[in-house]
Amino acid sequence: MSDLLHSMQTFAESMETYHLLRTIPGAGPLTAAMLIAEIGDIKKFPSVKQLTAFAGLDSAVHESGTFKSKKNRISKRGSSYLRTALYQATVAAISKQIHGPKNSTLFQFYQQ
């Protein structure tokens, strides 16, 4: 398993996207590599809406006739690995460190 992780890390480090993802507070080496592996070429998604649906983060709308639910949840139809990587990066970004959270804007959003 260690060899596989090392190979994945080495391959990811050779990509410009990897270094860009690493600048995001909360995105560590493994998370950045997972995002690259799951999304692949970002250009295959013509819109943010399609990428959101691929990740399973789009809302699952419940409606029938004139009824429309007010409590919509995410659909979870997409890549569970991508959702997990995004969740872990978010948790790392908002976790309190000695000198405050890594991403103070995101931390303040979740404090509301």
| pLDDT tens for the chain, residues 1 to 112 | 688 878 888 888 899 999 999 988 888 888 998 899 899 888 999 999 999 999 999 887 766 677 677 777 888 888 999 999 999 988 888 887 777 777 777 778 777 7
- CA-based nearest residue to 34, from 21, 51, 50: 21
Cα–Cα distance measured from residue 34 to residue 40, given in angstroms and rounded to the nearest whole number: 10
The tally of domains found in the chain comes to: 1
Q: Quote the pLDDT of residue 85.
A: 92
Q: Quote the pLDDT of residue 63.
A: 65
**Residue 9 sits in which domain range?**
2-111
